[in-house]
């Protein structure tokens, strides 16, 4: 398990999810399909989620995300 990434938020598909001041659903996510092993905060299970980033003119926002279950997303940010 990767301890660099900490659970940030659990959100339903499309629910407002702000990371570093932006709603991630409003932007195109980029990925090189690098997987990160994280821990489900509710059930303690390990999950293999992808690392993503959003490129803005003045910054790059990185996060790990994946579905805990259908349309229920877990977001992780660097600690």
In whole angstroms, give the CA distance from residue 15 to residue 42.
Answer: 19
pLDDT at 3: 78
Domain ranges of the chain: 5-78
Per-residue pLDDT reduced to its tens digit, 3-41: 799 999 999 998 999 999 999 999 999 999 999 999 999
In whole angstroms, give the CA distance from residue 48 to residue 41.
Answer: 14
In total, the chain counts a number of residues equal to 79
Strand 72-78: give its sheet, edge to edge: 5-12, 72-78, 60-69, 46-55, 35-39
pLDDT above 90: residue 1: no
- Residue entry with tokens 């996060």: 63
């Amino acid at each position: 398990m990767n301890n660099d990434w900490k659970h940030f938020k659990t959100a339903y598909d499309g629910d407002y999810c702000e990371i570093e001041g932006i709603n991630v659903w409003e932007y195109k996510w980029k990925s090189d399909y690098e997987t990160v092993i994280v821990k489900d905060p509710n059930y303690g299970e390990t999950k293999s989620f992808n690392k993503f980033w959003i490129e803005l003119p003045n910054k790059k926002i990185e996060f790990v995300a994946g579905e805990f279950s259908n349309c229920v997303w877990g977001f992780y940010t660097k600690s």
